[in-house]
Amino acid sequence: MISFNYETDFKLTNEKNLVNWVSSSIKNEGYKEGDINYIFCDDNYLHKLNVEFLNHDTLTDIISFDYTIGKEVSGDIYISVERVMDNAKDFNVDFIEELNRVIIHGVLHYCGYKDKSEADAKQMREKENYYINELI
């Protein structure tokens, strides 16, 4: 089950479409949907998690806690709406496009994709683009 939770005033307007999209993407990757919780928050909220759990004293747009077992994808995905807004401006893209990229990015990690090396980051970006185009 995919759920959306809010620790900020931001609210998605198309939750049902996003649930269907993420579910379809997981299935397309050969995985089964478990419990996935998206938590939308602000920079301060996510920064505290980044320091406490990852020992990173930086701002970030997404932190995902992966509880996937075998082929059943589960986890908590925290997204800073503020950081996504800033990144959209920096990358000169629409906020919704950047938000969708971050939403699918977390799930792709759960499906085994990495982004630490240049080659892995390229593959991750290709997958993100593929699924973003599927949503449109």
Pick out the residues of the known binding site: 105, 109, 115
30 Cβ contact partners less than 8 Å away, ≥ 6 residues apart? 71, 111
Contacts of 80 (CB under 8 A, 6+ apart): 41, 42, 43, 45, 46, 59, 60, 61, 62
CB–CB of 80/43 below 8 Å?
A: yes
Of 61, 41, 63, nearest in space to 52 by CA = 63
Residues of each annotated binding site for Zn(2+): 105, 109, 115
